[in-house]
Structure 1
Amino acid sequence: MIDDVVVVGAGPVGLFLAGELALAGIRPVVLDRLPARSGEQKANGLVGQVLRLLDHRGLHQPVSGVPGAPRPVPRFVFGAFPLDLDRLARNPFHAAPVPQHRIEEVLEERLLDLGVTVRRDHEVTGLRQDPTGVTVDVHGPDGDRQVRARYLVGADGGHSTVRKLAGIGFPGVTSPDPVSRVAHVLPPEGIRLTGNGEVLLPGCPTPFRFYTHTRTDHGVFVIAPFDPEAVMVATMEWGGPPVDRRTPLTLDELRASIRRVTGADLPLAPARTAGPFTPRRTVGHNTRLAERYRDGRVLLVGDAAHVHAATGGPGLNLGLQDAANLGWKLAAELRGWAPPGLLDSYHRERHPVGERVFMHSQAQTALMSPGPATTAVRALFGELLEHPDNLGRIAALMAGSDVRYQVGCPHPLAGLFTPDLTATTPDGTVRIAELARAGRPLLIDLTGGELGLAGPAAGWQDRVDLVTAECAQPPAGALLLRPDGYVAWAAEPGRADPAGLVGALRDWFGDARA
């Protein structure tokens, strides 16, 4: 027996990819080496365009707990610079504080609803490719066995076994600094709140803002209240005392680090409420990017393809959109309608996005480091951020809303993520995100049918859904949407361009069926 796809890794990225495949009619085999879902806290929120992607799948509300469409947030941080996003005429930045275990719960529930279960306590120990598939050696509860699949996807994290076994290089930069420490504690005694939402620590003249990285002359401090009985405190230090990596972080060690970074002596005690931030220490930064995201029938997604500093929370934004980009293309290949080169476009589109995160995560770390030279650079950078255009560019970079794929269409929306539009269809008023829930390609005529798109698109009706709608002041006459939410083609209002539509349908969704 040969399976279509084996997905290795049941973190958020692996679970989401498996769900995308299942939506497209592919039943993946999902393997994870852990016997149960990990309780380790790795991410504490979702940041950027990924929230709009989840909205396209009906997952935004279950994950965030917030009804309706994702809403931009008024503030964020870049390299310990507070970003006042309310100053922007069009704020592209979304964020939702949600622990990783909750994200995984929602995604696994979705996967179960789609008829796919995770095979836990199954560890990949070897793989061999040939022209027709991949043979995977697996050690499980019942011993060793082999699984045969047409494709293998590594979603197994920064230390990816799949990447190593496939021989895919992972070049990058490793630095011994900074040392990061974080814990979930009782609200420390002696801290005071100011009228503008800042925090004053005892003996320290520097005010600190909640949820914001604050740079001092000696490092970075973060404080964030999650409820009245639990506060996250964290530090980043460069050139601090030696660290024994074999010993776990203690609250005494964190307290000493806070004293060095801020000058304040905070008594720390574990939070009484359950929280994700057990004391954790991270030594140095590891920024690496896979040489290629595809090697024959082996593909990489998420941290298996890229690792970087967590500053700004770009990891799940990057990884989940990897999965969305790969899922429909791999399904198209397996179902036999993918045009030539479609699966290769996964690397071509997503590797440059990984390079962008590689760049800005290192830039943020550099901007937070101590020293007079960095202070001078920060003074200049702060002046630049006063201009709304520069603030908007940083916000778009962090959100990932500046990602634009080369799709061969000159329309201003082509290659960008679909705008959040509300339209009126024969069935009522609906948001485009709600039309995308099935994960299928969409052709949306926003002129109420005046463009006459049904005829040119007839040969693709088995795999592309046509929706006729009307939209007040539409940004385009029609939109052809890929399942990952990006615009493959768009028509100007009043101009049908049937030849352009047919070309885009063929380029992205294969030959027409008779």
Structure 2
Amino acid sequence: MKPTQLTESAEHDVVVAGGGPVGLTLACELALAGTRVLVLERRTEVDRTIKAGAINTPTAEAFYRRGMLPALAGIQREALGRFSSFVAAAKAAGASGPAPAPRFAGHFAAIPLRADLFDASDPDFGNAGPAADVGLVPQEPLERLLAERAAGLGVEFRRGVTLTGFDADDTGVTVHTDAGPVRTGWLVGCDGGRSTVRKHAGFAFPGTDPEITGRQALVEMTGAEALGAGWQTTATGHYAHGPMPGRVLTVEFDGPPADRESPVTAREIEDSLRRVTGVDVTVTAVHTATRFTDNARQATTYRKGRVLLAGDAAHVHSPFGGQGLNLGVGDAVNLGWKLAATVHGWAPDGLLDTYTAERHPIGAWVLEWTRAQVAMMRPDPHARALRAVVRDLAGTVDGTTHLVKRISGVWQRYDLPGDHPLTGRSAPDLAFADGGRLGDRLHHGRALFVDLLGDPELRASADGYGGRVEVIAADCPDRAGLAALLVRPDGVVAWATDGEGDRKGLGGALRRWFGEPRPAPRHS
């Protein structure tokens, strides 16, 4: 496919390098805020390689708040159908180790977590509303859904175009591609772990070197009836079989692959399966396949002038625990409204710098979380002894609940000014008396000030923020003493109060996140 020719006269507010789920999420957020976006993607079609298999709670909440939950629920139903087919086929073939229940609970270091053991009554699990019911959403259909949404929002999406470099100055960025140059105000690298944007801009990318080779594939094979279902640990490594027919994953502690770029062959997958499982399977066809390692690195900052990073371009790590896609979507949702505010000229000083300040600690935690799992997955006696201890802990309600909290992301909180326990956390999906929910009121992508007392004076506190903050009065029977809250466009609580007369900090929160109020127009 010949790249679509670009011209330097084409003007865009933001160019996003990379059209995977992270780049598309960011593009949608920017376009929703009225920003002119161009997405450049070197691939000519959606990547069919099996990657992420599920989304966590913050990701489900983010998409729910943009009206995407029904479509995600449909994708989940299809995924559950494939899971059911796999379980039925495995049972019919007499596979060992029956698959776990389809309700997603996750795994830690290839130790499956039982969904019936975690305490769902824990308060941290009770605020997501209907988003809590959606999790089994694989990456490929999610990417297709996001591409459709981006098109509907007017995002310009150029496939088959490779970014080769760029020149940044005080007024913008000239992006060089194999289809010609393009001028933009801002450039965001969402172009993966080997990001051209990150390398060309000179972002520092420290971390730890890999020690494993992982392979994941969708194959046709014979002899699979002797494989266990789900995650399995062996004397030489680990493997996973399912949750869809033909999906296999192996982990070997023999160092990183000598060549990451060469095609993954049926023989390679077959040899790895035989080494790890001890089963003489025969791989007869490979539909998709990829290699991965536990290379763990993170950019020291996510911004250098007019160039920013998000997703794997900003941080790489092993896929254990299913954090990668979710971490990148969280970056995109956090960055989108802040960059749009900067483009439109109303961002307060320092707003864009809060992107690194808020997201870098979450990324650092993910790297540590995956490193800990790799340490426990090693086949040496010390690691196996530690693994046995953690397996026992994971077999308790408290242990499973703690691990599921971390995997699900419900623990995440930004360190924002304010004393209220909700400040910095994902907004609870309040159910209003009229049948609506808070999440449904965020489809527009603007901030939301919610008055739960029906107090016109309280609502007047947000005067002057029209177009930036929507103000609503709502009756909420289960508000549990909550009087009002200010929710950022990314769904994070910027300010909240339980007291009718306690409005301390509201004005500061409005200015911190949404700039100075504009005076009401004077009518003659």
Could you state the TM-score of these two structures normalised by the residue count of structure 1? Answer: 0.86
2:161 counterpart of 1:122:
yes
Q: Write the letter of the residue equivalent to 1:444.
A: V
Match of 2:114 in 1: 84
Change (3 A) 1:125 1:258: closer
**8 Å contact 2:50–2:216 — kept in the other structure?**
no
Residue 454, structure 1, aligned to residue 453, structure 2: no
How far 1:269 moved relative to its partner?
3.4
Q: Which runs of 5+ in 2 are unaligned?
A: 1-8, 78-101, 126-131, 520-524
C-alpha RMSD over aligned residues = 2.6
Query: 1:313 is matched with which residue: 309, 312, 322?
Result: 322
Residue 164 of structure 1: CA displacement?
Answer: 1.1
Q: Which residue of 2 aligns with 1:156?
A: 191
Q: How does 1:159-198 map to 2 (within 5 A)?
A: 159-175=194-210, 177-186=211-220, 188-189=222-223, 191=225
151 and 215 in structure 1: CA distance in 2 versus 1, 3 angstrom threshold = same
Q: Is 1:219–1:368's contact at 8 Å kept on the other side of the alignment? A: yes
1:13 counterpart residue number: 22
Given the alignment of the two structures, is residue 473 of structure 1 paired with residue 475 of structure 2, yes or no? Answer: no
The 3-state SS of whatever aligns with 2:357 is helix
- The AA in structure 2 aligned to 1:459 is G
1:243 positional shift: 6.4
For structure 1, which runs of at least 5 residues remain unmatched after alignment?
A: 192-200, 203-207, 272-276
Pairing 1:404-423 to 2, within 5 Å after superposition: 404-423=413-432
Cα distance change of structure 1 residues 246 and 507 upon mapping to structure 2, 3 Å threshold: closer
Q: Secondary structure at the match of 2:330?
A: helix
1:61 is aligned, of 70, 91, 95, to 70
Specify the alignment match of 1:354 in structure 2: 363
| Residues 240 and 508 of structure 1: CA distance in aligned 2, closer, same or farther (over 3 Å) | closer
Establish whether residue 30 from structure 1 lines up as the match of residue 30 from structure 2: no
Task: Summarize the Cα distance change of 1:8–1:496 in structure 2 as closer, same or farther, 3 Å threshold.
Answer: farther
Q: Which segment drifts farther, 330-339 or 129-138?
A: 129-138
Aligned to 1:52: 61
1:500 to 485, 505, 524: 505
Deviation (angstroms), 1:295: 0.2
- The 3 A distance-change label for structure 1 pair 450 and 386 is farther
The one-letter code of the counterpart of 2:443 is R
User: What is the rounded CA distance, in whole Å, between the counterparts of 2:406 and 2:206 in structure 1?
Assistant: 23
- Out of 140, 144, 155, which is 1:105 matched to? 144
| Aligned partners of 1:3 and 1:149 also within 8 Å | yes
Matches within 5 A, 1:112-511: 112-140=151-179, 144=180, 146-175=181-210, 177-186=211-220, 188-189=222-223, 191=225, 201=226, 208-210=228-230, 213-226=231-244, 230-239=245-254, 248-270=263-285, 278-282=288-292, 284-424=293-433, 428-447=434-453, 449-450=454-455, 452-475=457-480, 476-492=482-498, 494-511=499-516
Residue type at the aligned position of 1:457: A
CA, structure 1 residues 243+32, in 2 after alignment: closer, same or farther (shift >3 Å)?
closer
SS at match of 1:401: coil
Deviation at 1:463, TM superposition (A): 1.2
Deviations 1:191-218 (A, max 9, x none): 2xxxxxxxxx37xxxxx443xx222221
Question: 1:94 & 1:309 partners in 2: Cα distance?
Answer: 26
1:6 partner letter:
V
In the alignment, residue 110 of structure 1 is paired with which amino acid? Answer: R
Q: Secondary structure at the match of 2:368?
A: helix
Shift in Å, 1:367? 1.3
1:225/1:39 Cα in 2 relative to 1: closer, same or farther (>3 Å)? closer
Give, in whole Å, the separation in 2 of the partners of 1:452 and 1:235.
61
AA at the equivalent of 1:165 = H
1:109/1:298 CA distance change after superposition, 3 Å: same
Shift of the alpha carbon at 1:434? 0.8
TM-score by length of 2: 0.84
User: Relative to 1, partners in 2 of residues 1:159 and 1:190: Cα closer, same or farther, differing over 3 Å?
Assistant: closer
Cα contact 1:155–1:302 (8 A) shared by 2: yes
8 A contact 2:223–2:280 mirrored in 1: no
Q: Is the 8 A contact 2:72 2:134 kept in 1?
A: no
| 1:244 Cα deviation after fit | 6.6
Q: Is the 8 A contact 1:248 1:281 kept in 2?
A: no
Is the CA contact (8 Å cut-off) linking 1:220 and 1:236 kept in structure 2? yes
Deviates more, 1:433-442 or 1:380-389: 380-389
Higher strand share: 1
2:238–2:252 CA contact under 8 A, matched in 1: yes
| Distance in 2 separating the partners of 1:244 and 1:289 | 22
Is the 8 Å Cα contact of residues 47 and 94 (structure 1) preserved in structure 2?
Answer: no
Measured after TM superposition, the shift of residue 222 of structure 1 is 0.5
Greater CA deviation, 312-321 or 125-134? Answer: 125-134
What amino acid maps onto 1:435 in structure 2? R
Structure 1 residues 54 and 279, CA, compared in 2 at 3 Å: closer, same or farther? same
Amino acid at match of 2:32: L
Length, aligned pairs only: 477
Contact 1:73 1:94 survives alignment (8 Å)? no
| Percentage of identical aligned residues | 43
Residue 499 of structure 1 and its aligned partner are, at CA, apart by 3.6
Task: Report the CA distance between 1:30 and its aligned residue.
Answer: 1.6
